[in-house]
Structure 1
Amino acid sequence: MSVKIGHASIDERGKARGGAAGDQTGREVCTRNWYNKPWIAVIRPKSSTAAEKIAKAMEAACANNNIGYDQNERTTLYIKAKANNWNIAGIKSKCETDCSALVAVCVNAAGISVSKDIYTGNEKSALVATGKFTAHTESKYLTTDNYLKRGDILLASGHTAVVLSNGSKATAGGNANADASAPDKYKEIIRSLQTALNSEYKAGLVVDGVPGSKTFGATPTLNKKTRAKKPKTVKALQSLLTYYGYKCDVDGDFYTATEKMVKSFQREVVGQKNPDGEVTAKNATWKKLLKLS
């Protein structure tokens, strides 16, 4: 049985702009079976509670025919939803949205603050930057619905949607394991980083799992030139990248695959237009990795 998704699709004339407010056909903002767009990323909430709220918000939007599609007025749903304390089912006047603006509404309805102006070009970086999502780009998430979970956000070039049911091979219990373990896992990684900095750079840090100013001040420059010269610190970096959804081998060797993930993180989370793949000492990439900005 195919996984269900919800999305803002197109206006009543099959156009992106200029239609009448509200859903004239029942298909402007609607549910449908999953399809191979093709998708380029699955953005997964770390919290099972947030995932459920995102899915419920999308279902409410799809069921409310006061909400239609129009890119010219894409933020009018957001304005009404915010004024209505994110009770989407309770919106009684005509308004409009588009695919990414609707995802922004659903995410805010789940208690995660994100701009009403996100679009598919920056949606992944904006959501990952909240610290509440991980991004998955492995083919098993993109070319089949088997591993999708309710509350996942699908991203394509120019389109986005929310998953409303679990795939046949989705881990039992939805996102509950990630919800419970994510904070402890992050502290564990920070402890490993602090231990590595003490061992390889004589940093003299307290190993407490708290990424404060002293830990940031001890961060070194890591790149392909260092390779495996500082394997413990590189391993901690690789663990941090993987934690944020930029998966690479945690092997202590800063090589091509790790550099590729660093560049992706710099582009999508740090906001660098021309990422260099180097994690420079006491700089913006470390600051984002340590949740200090």
Structure 2
Amino acid sequence: MILTYDNMPSICDYEGSNYRTDFWEGRGRDYEDRVERVAIRRLLLPSGERLLEIGSAFGRLTNEYAGYKQVILLDYSFSQLQYAQQHYGRDPRFIYVAANAYQLPLHAGICDAATIIRVLHHMQDVPKIFAEVRRILAPNSTFLLEFANKRNLKAMLRYALRKQDWNPYDLAPVEFVELNFDFHPRYIAQELTRAGFETQRRLPVSFFRLGLFKKLPTSFLVGLDALLQHTPLFITPSIFTLNISDKTGVNQVDVHTPEAMFRCPRTGENLVRHGDEMVAEKSGLRYAIRDGIYDFKAPLDD
């Protein structure tokens, strides 16, 4: 579902969808899942204080962050977070947050790591997303990003054969289906720098996503992909980047209670918990806590 708000980029909402079973489980995507895990383990620090997983959905990759003392699973879809909660339970290590990534309900410098994987292709305003990620990260923190590569081999061949209109070499993002974007690697690099990140490593991932490779053993494809990830062959449909935030900003990673971490996504003011609600101190805006999931998608009074 596509949602549009005043002065806000459109949002791709998976609320009520069977994303877990329609796209991943039992859908022959083990290869994609496994090569992404290879990239995560190569790039992300194995341990830390608090990691924000933007677009966590049902928590497919959350178990990769076992070394972090706290993981915030954030997604716009409340139902996807319910799936994640059913799997990971109500361990205080996991905080479930339904929210708009363009208005993160977190104070500055709260996290020392953040991930965006299989999500950026739905983001209409990349600079705004990167700015929000930088805001909630402490100085010298890790941002692990995956993005859909506009300059992939298939797109370049199709363009050369005049089977597609859009130019894979043009820097501007291309929206090939509503709220589905591919990005030029140089465009992503520029926007990361502008947001205050230094890119330390890049990995090409998912070399064998085409259907013609499906008949080959998955373990063989994963092993070969793992080797090719070390090459500069950035012609894959997916690219992972390891980025470090600059030295500016505040460090509030030592805050350990959810009530102290959160801020009003509309006004930026502090929130106080009253029963199953988070209430803004000045404006009085109220946000629900539903079955252990913080719901910051909209105030209760809207």
TM-score w.r.t. the length of structure 2 is: 0.23
* Between structures 1 and 2, the one with greater strand share: 2
Bigger share in helix: 1
Higher relative contact order (CA 8 A, sep 6+): 2
Q: What TM-score results when the alignment is normalised by the length of structure 1?
A: 0.24
